[in-house]
Amino acid sequence: MAVTATGLLSTLRAAADRWLFRIGPVETAPIRLVQRRIYVLPTAAGLAFAGALLAMLLASINYNLSLGYGLVFLLGGAAVASIVHAFRNLLGLSIRPARCMPVFCGDTAGFVLQIDNPRPGRRPALRLRAHGELADFDIGPAQAASVTLPCPTHHRGELALGRTVLETTWPLGLIRAWSVFVPELNCLVYPAPEPAPPAPPEDGEGDEGRHGRLRDGDDDFAGLRAHRSADSPRHVAWKVLARGGPMLTKQYANWSGQDLQLDWTTLPAHLDGEQRLSRLAAWVLQAEQGGRRYALALPGSAIELGQGPAHLQRCLSALARFGSPTAPRGRQP
């Protein structure tokens, strides 16, 4: 029953958003806040203030207090003026989605929005709200602000920023002006690496499989080879040449572990899909940190041997998008 009630409430809210706030698919940038996109209502403090003014007005009428009338109308005029100021604090702002760096599941995604203020006046006390999280900021006259909205991640895959609210209660906190929009901004959420994974499978035979592979580098002396015209003079074996030997070049190299073949099908059968992805993510990170080349094989796709930041990102992205999971938008503001 609880699940049905929650689903019904979400459906009704989505229908209300589409009808009242004209919320639909993602919007193309820039998103400009024109007059018809800004809504104004009193806050809880504003309703309490209105109630106090009503009580003061009734008392002034009952006791025929001229100063009471003047105070009520003065405070009422200030409240009405705050409606205009709150509305103008949002009017004309332009919003552009910037970026969101990939994160691991469980970390906080930082959605960055670029908000431009074309007016030669300061825009104070603004607030962004999405996924139940808040970000407060100000914008100077004719300036732009990059605002980072932190959102927790609970599922791997593509996390959309989704329904976002830009609001203000400036200047008195009695009136809330807000606008709702859906920017085209997603965050790629990698699967969380397994905390203490077992050692990755070691394939290979002979000395290379047991001891590793010799690669060009500059860490350890690995022997001499015939001199080439492109070799640095610093690497020439001058002592050998002085003894009447041929011109040779000192060879330096790095010893690194064997190449890894990370395959979904070789994982233990008792691991479910998400656990397999977490273990593969941990192995990919270990291989990259250890300076080893690695390949990744998933059902329906494969990534060849490689190494480096670009290869790491490619493998982690394949793990994040495996099965095309849809990350929920979370609690709406």
Full pLDDT tens readout for the chain, 333 residues: 445 676 677 677 666 666 666 666 788 889 999 999 999 999 999 999 999 999 999 999 999 999 999 999 999 999 999 999 999 999 999 999 999 999 999 999 999 999 999 999 999 999 999 998 999 999 999 999 999 999 999 999 999 998 899 999 999 999 999 999 999 999 999 999 999 888 887 654 434 444 444 444 455 555 677 877 777 777 777 777 777 778 878 766 554 557 889 999 999 999 999 999 999 999 999 999 988 899 999 998 899 999 999 999 999 999 999 987 544 444 344
The answer to whether residue 221 is domain-embedded is: yes
Both 93 and 155 in a single domain?
yes
Q: Does residue 118 belong to any structural domain of this protein?
A: yes
**By 3-state DSSP, what share of the chain in percent is helix, strand and coil, each rounded to 5?**
35, 35, 35
Same domain, 74 and 154: yes
* 115 and 122 Cβ atoms separated by less than 8 Å: no
Provide the number of structural domains found in the chain.
Answer: 2
CA-wise closest residue to 94 among 66, 115, 70? 115
- Read off the amino acid at residue 77: G
**37 and 164 housed in the same domain:** yes
Can you give the residue range of the structural domain that contains 177? 18-189
* Residue 249 shares a structural domain with residue 160: no
CB-based contacts of 236, cutoff 8 Å, min separation 6: 227, 247, 248, 249, 250
151 and 234 assigned to the same domain? no
| Rounded Cα–Cα distance for residues 148 and 145 (Å) | 10
144 and 252 part of one domain: no
Last residue of a domain, one of 163, 189, 215: 189
Q: Is residue 279 part of a domain?
A: yes
